[in-house]
Structure 1
Amino acid sequence: MYKAGAVTAGELMTAPAVTVTPDATLARAARVMARHRVKRLPVVGHDGALKGIVSRSDLLKVFLRDDEDIAEEARREVVEPLFGTHAEALRIEVRDGVVTLSGLVHDTALVPLAALLVRAVEGVVDVQCALTGPARHPDLDPDLPDTRRTSAST
C-alpha cells in the first residue's frame, strides 16, 4: 500500500504492529527487523504494554563491541564468580566476538553453565569451550571410564 498521502499516524503505521517480547534474543529481534524491513522494533510485555524500542543501531552497538571488553566482562561476571580462586588459571580469548574458554577446572559440572552464561554476555557471537577437569586416577575412580588417550604401537 502506498502511504505518501497519509495524514495521520494511524494511516502511516504498520498494522498489525511488528513486535517482540522482552525475553526475545537479540538474534531473533534482528531477524524480525530484517524480515519485516523495519528500522525500529517495539518491545512489548506479555500484557501488550510497550516496554521500549530496539533500533538497528542498538543491535549494531552490541555486535560491534570490542573483544577486550567482552573478555573482561566474561571474566568478571561469569568466570570469577563461578570458579573463584581457580578462575585466574583459566584463559578467555575473544576474537570477532567468539569466546574461547580454556584451562583446567576442578568442578566440571560448572562447565555447561559457564558456557551458557558467557554466551549471554552482550557482543558474544559464539562460545568455544575447551575447559577440562582433573586427570582421572584409575585407582581412586574405578567406576569412571578411562578417558586417557592411548596410542597403539605396531
Structure 2
Amino acid sequence: MRLLLAVALSALACTAHAEDPLKSAECGAALEALQAARADGDATRVEAVRSQAARACLGGNGDAQRPSPAAQPPIAVAPPVIVPREPRRAPVAPPPPATVTIERPTVLTHCDPGGCWDSDGRRLNRAGAVLMGPRGACATAGATVHCP
C-alpha cells in the first residue's frame, strides 16, 4: 500500500513539474540566452531575447505593456454630507418654589411702667391696661402680642 502511494505521489510531482512553464527546458534555455545577451551589452538583442524568454517562461505573446494610467477614468466620489445635529438644549430648571414666610408671633421682651418693647424692636406704649402700637391697640395673650 505504501509503495502504491509513493508511486502515485512521484507521478503527480513529475506531472506538476512538467506542467510548470518556469521549470521547463525551453524556459531555462531562454533565460540563459537572456543572461548571455545582457553580458554582451547589446540592448537591441536583450529586448528580442527578453520577449522570447517571456513567451517561453510565462506564456503569452511576449509583448510587455504597462497599462496606461489614463486607461480608466478617475473614480468620482461625492464628498460626504455631514448634517449637524441640533444641539441639545439644557433642560429648563423649574422655577424655585415661592418662599413661604411664616409669621412668627411677636412677643414682649421687656416692660416698664410706660409700656413694653416687643421682639420686632418696636415700643408699645401703655394706655391703661391696653398696649398701643403704631397703628392702634394691640391684643395680648400672655407674652404674645398682636398689633394691627
Return the TM-score normalized by structure 2: 0.19
| Larger Rg belongs to | 2
Which fold has the larger relative contact order, with Cα–Cα distance below 8 Å and residues 6 or more apart in sequence? Answer: 1
Return the TM-score normalized by structure 1: 0.18
